[in-house]
Structure formats: structure tokens, C-alpha cells
Amino acid sequence: MTKQQAVGVDIGGTGIKAALVDLEHGALIGDRVRIDTPRGAKPADVLTAVREVLHRLDITDQRVSLGVAFPAIVRHGRTMSAANVSDDWIGFEAEKFFEDGLGRDIAFTNDADAAGIAEARYGAARDRNGLVILTTLGTGIGSAFLYDGVLVPNTELGHLQHNGHSIERWAAYSAKEREDLSWDAWAQRLQSFYSHIEFLFSPDLIVVGGGVSKHAKEFLPLLALDTPILAAVHRNAAGIIGAASLSHR
């Protein structure tokens, strides 16, 4: 191992993924390991699953830094929300819980913030000045704000209100799948979402991440915005890469 390598773990509502990352180039080294997120996603069960993905990676060198990305507001190591995971995480000392359970120091951050860091350092937002907003379209909608490459943590654009509910229930990729929407019908919902973001924040660039970004040609050209909008380079690997990058101090 070299100092230019780290491990990233990305905990999501449906899957937990991990890989060794080349920090110089922002690329995965070897295969990515994935297992399903345990039903209910309670802390003890998630910790067991994280141990399992690390065991499958077979990286025993404790000098290799480790970053963990998690789908919640993260403030001073505590998870302050619980999007698509157990409510047990609300107000939970998650960073200490993982450090104690894994027997090592970690860098712990919001999953969308980790993805934003990956795209700012190695992807679509690299060397872009001004305000960049990354959104991840998946089970929910995550967001990351970066100003001149500096992260403003814990934005939650997926919880903007739409008809009395979080807009992610209506506009996330999971809504497209659940309601069997066409690309055109889904793009109309995304148009409302991104137009509102554009009006509120006047960003210089919007980056769209998540696994659906591999189908960007199906829906991004259908959006009419004044702000440039690009697909993320690292797609579903962005959380892993960003978490690993943040772990390397």
C-alpha cells in the first residue's frame, strides 16, 4: 500500500459499497464490493455489514485510511437525520460508534457531500469556480454545495417541500421506477425540481450523480435551464471515492 491509497465505504438505503481508491487519480483499485443494506438499517446491523464489506476487500493494513459516507445529516460525528435508514440514527454518535466497532479512526461524512467532493476533486466539477450544486438521484435525492471547491456541508435539497412532502418522494429515480414513468414524464418532474434550485441559489453549475447518471442522455437534454447541467463522472462510485479522499489527511 502507498500513502496515495485509501478505502471508501458508501452506506446507502439499499446497498453498502466499498473499494480501495487511488487518491492521485480518483479511481477504484480492483473490484468494488457490494452487499445489501440490512433490512431496517439499525446501527448494529449496519456495522456488521460494514465489517463484512471490509473483510471481503481483504485490506488488513491499518495504515490505510478509511472514509465512511452515510445517508444522513452529519454534524460533529453525529447523524442528525435518518433518510431511508432506521430512526435509531437520529442524534446518534455514529462516528464514534463506527470507530469503536471497527477499531480504527475514520472520516465520517454525508454520502452526497462525499460524492460532491469526488466530483470537485476528480470529476465534472474539477477546477470549476463559483457555486457548484451536485444532486444524487437514487432512492432519495442527495445534494452537495461546493463554492470554489470548498464544501458547504449538510444541504438537504431532497427535502424541499412538494405538496406537503419531501420532493424526493416525487422526483427521485425511485419514483420513476415505482410509478413506471417514461423518461419524458420523469424529466418534467426534474424540471420543476431543478428550476426551483436555479431560482433559489443561482448556481454556476449543476452536476447530476447517482446510478441513473449513466442514462443522462435520456433525460438531461429534456431539461430547460439557464445553468449548465452535467452528468457526474464517477456515478455510483462517487461516494466511495469522496469518502476515501476525505479520510486522507
HSE-CB for 63 with a 13 A CA cutoff: 4
Q: Say if residue 113's pLDDT is above 80.
A: yes
Q: Rounded to two decimals, what is the model's pTM?
A: 0.92
Q: Are strands 131-137 and 27-36 parallel, antiparallel or unpaired?
A: unpaired
Q: What is the pLDDT of residue 59?
A: 82
Tell me the residue range of the domain where 211 lies: 127-232
Read off the pLDDT of residues 182-234 as tens digits, 9 standing for 90 and up: 999 999 999 999 999 999 999 999 999 988 999 999 999 999 999 999 999 99
Same domain, 131 and 96: no
State mean pLDDT over 119-145. 95
- 121 falls within a domain: no
- 132 falls within a domain: yes
- 119 falls within a domain: no
- The confidence band for 14, taking pLDDT boundaries of 50, 70 and 90, is confident
- 98 falls within a domain: yes
Q: Say if residue 160's pLDDT is above 90.
A: yes
Q: What is the pLDDT of residue 122?
A: 96
Same domain, 91 and 174: no
Same domain, 153 and 91: no
Same domain, 86 and 155: no
- 120 falls within a domain: no
State mean pLDDT over 72-95. 93
Nearest to 157 by CA among 130, 126, 131, 135: 135
- 165 falls within a domain: yes
Same domain, 226 and 243: no
**Cα(97)–Cα(80) distance, rounded to whole angstroms?**
14
- Rg from Cα positions in the chain: 17
Lowest mean pLDDT among 51-65, 105-119, 214-228, 234-248: 51-65
Q: What is the pLDDT of residue 154?
A: 94
Q: Of all helices (H) and strands (E), which one includes residue 41?
A: none
Same domain, 174 and 226: yes
Q: Say if residue 2's pLDDT is above 70.
A: no
Mean pLDDT computed over every residue of the chain: 94
Same domain, 66 and 91: yes
Q: What is the pLDDT of residue 6?
A: 96
- The confidence band for 3, taking pLDDT boundaries of 50, 70 and 90, is low
Same domain, 209 and 148: yes
**Cα(116)–Cα(23) distance, rounded to whole angstroms?**
15
Same domain, 86 and 134: no
Domain of residue 146, CATH code: 3.30.420.40
Same domain, 105 and 196: no
Same domain, 64 and 160: no
Contact present, 115 and 142 (Cβ < 8 Å):
yes
Same domain, 12 and 58: yes
Q: Say if residue 60's pLDDT is above 80.
A: no
**Cα(75)–Cα(37) distance, rounded to whole angstroms?**
23
Q: What is the pLDDT of residue 219?
A: 98
Q: How many domains does the chain have?
A: 2
Q: What is the pLDDT of residue 205?
A: 98
- 54 falls within a domain: yes
- 118 falls within a domain: no
